[in-house]
A and B are shown apart, each in its own frame.
Chain A
Amino acid sequence: MLSKKQARFFFFGGTILVFIIFLGMTWDSIANRIPEQTHADALTPEVVAGKRLWDKNNCMGCHTIFGEGAYYAPELTKVIERRGEPYIKSVLTSPVPWAPNGRKMVAYGFSNEEAENLIAYFRWIGNVDLNGFPAKPDIEK
């Protein structure tokens, strides 16, 4: 029968082993793979400014990006592809809450430059290789 000492060894030994593998995979991801897969060289000052606006206004509190966030408003990973830039710009600069379907978005009234930055951010996001997400709808209507 298993003793307490063996159980303790199972816990510490297993944890240390798995943690080392995890750190190794993390290192490989960050150092060798993610820069290429996300086009890190395309992180221009505009993209970064867009990301800061995304954070500062907690857009993720309603929307998802890369499938992460809230479930109140549309997923925005491929929004440039879906809507085109002029549409997005008018949403972002609108002085009244944007609500084409009754559900309101906060009226941020971004400046032209801020809207451009957010669009640059969305364009960067849209180009990241996401291993096939979001999937193409595969049932015929």
Chain B
Amino acid sequence: MKYKSQKVAYWFFVACMVLLVLQITYGFIMAFAHLGYDGLHAITPFNTARAVHTNLLVVWLLCGFMGAAYYIIPEESKRELYSIKLAYIQLISFLLVGVIAIAGYHVNWWEGRKFLEIPRPLDYLVVINVLAFLFNILMTLWKAKERTTTAMVLTMGLVFAALLYLPGMIWFDSQTLDSFFRWWVVHLWVEGVWELIMGGILAYLLIKITGVDREVIEKWLYVIIGLTFISGILGTGHHYYYIGTPNYWLIVGGIFSALEPLAFLGMALFAITMYMRSGRNHPNKLALYWTMGCAITAFVGAGLLGAAHTLPQVNLYTHGTLVTAMHGHMAFWGAYAMLIFAVISYAMPLMTGRKIYNNMTGLLAFWFSNIGMIGMTLSLGVAGVAQVYLERKLGLSFMQVQKEIEVHFFVMIIAATLFSTGITLYLINFFRYGKPKDEAILSETEFESLQSQGA
């Protein structure tokens, strides 16, 4: 940490951790319901649990992106954040809107639009909030003497993400058009502008951890985000196969979405080669694990498992089955959840001056959560493939098939328990750090000397 104002990131990270725990709780409610135990049906029916699970995911990831930006932008622009007060106001109001939305989902106040369930009046509050956030970031950059590529790519990602929220707020009478523009938010976020955020944060972490020359890292950053947009924008077509849209999307969506894994392959190779090139031995092993893990798991979860069902011939059968849920879990986990875990692991020692970055708890947190997530993905994958064959190929009824695949949710719950154990260990490390301190500013010099010793 070089600037006192970077400390605001801490409270965003705390919010991340709390919301993640809630998200997982609702995940268990759904997994048990799939298994036949829906005891909470009267108060938390499946659709409530689902809306809460996925919305909390998005809210904590956004909170993490904001926290990361508040940590990274001052450092990259070599000055304090424009307004610390605005950052706190913005965090509290963001959480308030989130909590109201989540409460609303328990009393049938929502919109049945997958991932965009937040009712329209609250959407306007989200917009105001995000404008306040962007104002703070942009003013910091505006007043800075230096604007690095890394900072600009990260900021570009955040600004585009805000803009792309708007098409999700238009009213449509036609289910087809509603869906069409819902994907401008959902797809163009995760397979477009969020990858800019991911690329920016990864570049920052790699510069810090590996010490490879900034110019080299930022050059490849441009190549990767170039691949992202060139494949991902027209790749939106993989959601326009079967919703009442013209059939030319089958060709365009098929070809371009099949290229999307290249961007994720780029991220993985980027991280691996920069690590191999690095002459130093950074002491923060956990940050290194999560950074490399993020780039590699994103390639597997988003790139490979996305490509597995992206061709129209395959998607005709897998569309809207548990195969999609299988991919959704590992993709979000690898690309975005692990990214935030990496930023937190990197920033915490620097904000607090404590060095809990190479201990058994932290290593077990990494391995348990990742092995647990692989197990969850496998169980959803087996259930999904069985569902596709029995329901879509053989023509058994939906509920008949659900009975057949119930057992896989038992396996999923076991894997999810291992996953949650890993998350718990991560939380233990996180809270052991305690609150950030101004005196921690000194420790970066100390870190730099540690780094050169390792060379």
Contact = CB atoms under 8 A, between A and B. Distances in A.
Q: Tell me the interface secondary structure of chain B in the complex.
A: helix
A95 interface: no
B117 interface: yes
Interface string A105-141: 0100000000000000000010011111111111101
A58 interface: yes
Contacts of A72: 30, 33-34, 46, 50
A11 B200 CA distance: 14
A4 B219 contact: yes
Contacts of A10: 222-223, 226
B233 interface: yes
B351 to A, nearest CB: 31
Nearest to A69: B114
B399 interface: yes
Contacts of A73: 46, 398
A101 B36 CA distance: 10
A134 B393 CA distance: 11
A64 B220 contact: no
Interface stretch (B238-246, B289-297, B340-348, B366-374): B238-246
Given A2-B223, A66-B244, A128-B244, A101 B316 contact: no
A80 interface: no
Contact of A71 (B215, B226, B321): B321
A137 B244 contact: no
A133 B316 CA distance: 6
Contacts of B243: 66-68, 130
Contacts of A138: 393
A39 to B, nearest CB: 9
B317 A135 contact: yes
Interface in A47-68: 47-48, 51, 54-62, 64-68
Contacts of A61: 46-48, 50-51, 112, 114, 117
Nearest to A10: B226
A137 B298 CA distance: 33
B320 A71 contact: yes
Contacts of B41: 97, 104, 106
Contacts of A26: 180
B395 interface: yes
Interface stretch (B79-87, B247-255, B441-449): B247-255
A93 interface: no
Nearest to A14: B230
Nearest to A16: B229
Interface residues of B, number: 72
Contacts, number: 204
Interface stretch (B61-69, B169-177, B300-308, B356-364): B169-177
A15 B399 contact: no
Contacts of B242: 66-67, 130-133
Contacts of A28: 246
Contacts of A8: 222
Contact of B399 (A103, A131, A133): A103
A74 interface: yes
Nearest to A61: B47
Given A34-B246, A101-B403, A133-B241, A57 B45 contact: no
A86 interface: no
A18 B88 CA distance: 38
A75 interface: yes
A12 B48 CA distance: 41
B389 to A, nearest CB: 8
B47 to A, nearest CB: 2
B129 interface: no
Contacts of A3: 219
A42 to B, nearest CB: 10
A25 B229 CA distance: 16
Contact of B246 (A29, A54, A103, A106): A29
A27 to B, nearest CB: 12
A105 B148 CA distance: 53
Contacts of A65: 175
B50 A70 contact: yes
A75 B397 CA distance: 10
Interface string B142-179: 00000001000000000000000000000001111111
Given A67-B319, A70-B46, 19 more contacts: A10-B226, A14-B230, A29-B245, A30-B177, A34-B177, A54-B112, A56-B111, A56-B112, A58-B47, A58-B112, A60-B114, A65-B175, A66-B242, A67-B243, A72-B33, A101-B403, A104-B41, A130-B243, A139-B393
18 contacts: A11-B226, A19-B229, A22-B234, A25-B252, A28-B246, A37-B176, A55-B111, A55-B113, A58-B110, A61-B47, A66-B244, A71-B322, A106-B45, A129-B244, A131-B241, A132-B242, A132-B316, A139-B393
